[in-house]
Structure 1
Amino acid sequence: MMTAILQTPTAVAQDFTEFRSAVLRSFVPLQVSTEHRDRFHGRLRTHEAGEIALTEITASPHEVERTPELIARSDRPCYKLSVMLAGTGILTQDGREAVLRPGDVALYDTNRPYSLVFEENFRTLVLMFPQQKVDLPRDLVGQLTAVRMSGREGVGNVVVPFLAQLGGNLDVLTSPVGVRLAHNAVDLLTTMLATELDLDRAAADPHHDLMRRIRGYIDANLSRSDLGPAQIAAEHYISTRHLHGLFQEQGTTVAGWIRQRRLEHCRRDLRDPLLAARPVAAIAARWGFVDAAHFSRVFRAAFGESPSGLRAQAS
């Protein structure tokens, strides 16, 4: 028998068919199969905090596959991080294969085909979130899909225990601090990814360290309404032309990156129950939007709804 908790206190699934349905409700569309249909067992526990979902899966051997046809149905790309807690899993994406054992983690991109194979009984924790919540260039993050990262050393030794503790206390995500804890998890993961990228890319990419410092400077100064290319270039002793070229290599612009980061911070604050009493205009101003009407327009253009509409959904 399999128990699945899917946005509700309890829901019981009696067989593999119900397990597969539970997986599809918890994640993006997937093909799920098993050779153990007659004796299948498993459990899903899922809680969402804002746009971030954390799911603990305990199950019999099975396979999942994300195909191009299923990807075409999706409305936006997400990242998923698997934290292996017991058993073994094999993740394949982008021509790479990662064998995951307890304490290992791996990232994968729902916007590209992947497969996961579990050949024995297992337990894993899956963190799923929109890709824009990772403030690193997607082409660099793409170098880490299906790459085994250890949770027993370095930054991983901080991040994985935090995720495991959060997974063991999923009910806390439904509390007023749940959204903040979920975002803390993504922030910690981003730090882990940045560390991995520094190790692998710093020597090969002379612009990598400079871009890391520039992005950090932008994030630290988003509240300044005068933040712009001239100021950023001067702070880093480069020309504005060089600065624009760096961002062009990343497929964006300086102004576009600043706007995206400001909007992401505003959206996070608008979804935070602890900030429900703060006026929308005050949140916009906190992150550098001095014109409330302009903020409302660009927010709707980016997310398809008004700031007040998003706040109402989160309440």
Structure 2
Amino acid sequence: MPYPTTQAVSASRVTTSVARNFSEFRTAVSESFVPLHVTSSRPDPFWGRIRSADADEVHVSEVSAAEHVVERTPELIARSDRHYFKLSLQLSGTGLLIQDNREAVLQPGDLAVYDTHRPYSLVFDDDFRTMVVMFPKHLIDLPADVVAQLTAVTMSGKSGVGSIIVPFLAQLVGNLEQLNGATGARLAHSALDLVTTMFANELDIASGPGNAHQALMQRIRAYIDANLASTDLGPTQIAAAHFISTRHLHGLFREQGTTVSSWIRTRRLERCRRDLLNPLYGDRPVAAIAARWGFVDAAHFSRVFKSTYAESPSELRASGRAA
């Protein structure tokens, strides 16, 4: 099923890389995602295509190719300074994802998540087509170590929550041209919100009714998101609302490699970032958006925002308008 011989063409911000041989495909894979080791037992002849679009910090791709194996090795990981999650939705053919001593067999309609900062392998024994969503870990409101419980776990799109979310993702990858400007950013973040819902649902199923610890953390995170605008939001208020001591609260977050204040700040910054990219708030002052999400000091907000995202709030807003 070879594609016509063309190279890296773009239209409406969608980039298409069509490989004329295995060497070109191997290069395209690493350039499209993170550096990867790609091998094939049948490299000649070989066909492959990658269609990609970026919306905000979310990279959405459709990969179609012949048999090959992808490996993220410790050596390649050591060269990276940014950490991503990748979500694969199998569209046709089958795949095998291996990470964290788990194996997920992916049939059409199945989803699986994996972490680019830990070794993984993807094995495709025949022609296939898959959707890949790659995004920085901070874009979803679940701690990385919680998501780690789901790496290389098959999540079905044929029933339950998956049957609602998978069709949306499939429509998204089928319409990459729509991932443009502020509208594209909202679509991409909506997709991640849905994926987060699916992860939370899977974790609920996996934990069963006896895991009160995990259930408490989910309630606390939901409470924080619901009260981000409150300037009183802090350990004392959160602990009191959940009938636990502040010491216990700090211990819960410490177990997940973060602090209460860091988690609140990250969630507030992300809400501000979304609003700054939203044309509906284009006339609203930056300080007003910051205050809406609990930042009372505009100068402090600007410093923290630039430190986190490497650009000021006004620079982000200007880039969103230019998109």
Band the TM-score falls in, shorter-chain normalisation: over 0.9
Aligned 1:233-272 pairs, distance under 5 A:
233-272=239-278
Distance 1:275 1:46 in 2: 28
Contact map agreement 2:19 2:47 (CA 8 A) in 1: no
Distance 1:139 1:11 in 2: 34
Distance 2:298 2:16 in 1: 43
Q: Which of residues 19, 22, 27 is equivalent to 2:25?
A: 19
Structure 2 letter corresponding to 1:155: V
Aligned 1:36-185 pairs, distance under 5 A:
36-185=42-191
Structure 2 letter corresponding to 1:282: A
Deviations 1:153-179 (A, max 9, x none): 111111111100111111111253110
- Structure 1: any 5+ residue segments left out of the alignment? none
Contact map agreement 1:46 1:55 (CA 8 A) in 2: yes
Deviations 1:76-99 (A, max 9, x none): 110001100110111111111111
Contact map agreement 1:105 1:150 (CA 8 A) in 2: yes
Pick closer, same or farther for the CA change 1:288–1:119 going to 2, 3 Å. same
Q: Which residue of 2 aligns with 1:291?
A: 297
Instruction: Normalising by structure 2, report the TM-score.
Output: 0.92
- Larger deviation: 239-248 or 60-69? 239-248
Q: Which residue of 1 aligns with 2:234?
A: 228
Distance 1:122 1:101 in 2: 10
Deviations 1:3-61 (A, max 9, x none): 55565565554222222222122101111122222211122110110000110111111
Instruction: Normalising by structure 1, report the TM-score.
Output: 0.94
Secondary structure, in 3 states, of the residue corresponding to 2:53?
A: strand
- Larger deviation: 140-149 or 303-312? 303-312
Pick closer, same or farther for the CA change 1:104–1:14 going to 2, 3 Å. same
Contact map agreement 1:176 1:274 (CA 8 A) in 2: no
Distance 1:5 1:262 in 2: 38
Deviations 1:232-273 (A, max 9, x none): 222222222222222222222211211111112122223345
Structure 2 letter corresponding to 1:180: R
Q: Which of residues 188, 199, 202 is equivalent to 1:196?
A: 202
Q: In the comparison of the two structures, how many residue pairs are matched?
A: 315
Identical residues among aligned pairs (%)? 63
- Structure 2: any 5+ residue segments left out of the alignment? none
Q: Which residue of 2 aligns with 1:186?
A: 192
Shift of 1:221: 0.9
Pick closer, same or farther for the CA change 1:12–1:106 going to 2, 3 Å. closer
Contact map agreement 2:47 2:65 (CA 8 A) in 1: yes
Distance 2:147 2:244 in 1: 26
Secondary structure, in 3 states, of the residue corresponding to 2:123?
A: strand
Q: Which of residues 7, 22, 31 is equivalent to 2:37?
A: 31
Shift of 1:227: 1.2
Secondary structure, in 3 states, of the residue corresponding to 1:227?
A: coil
Shift of 1:205: 3.0
Q: Which of residues 283, 308, 315 is equivalent to 1:277?
A: 283
Pick closer, same or farther for the CA change 1:64–1:5 going to 2, 3 Å. farther
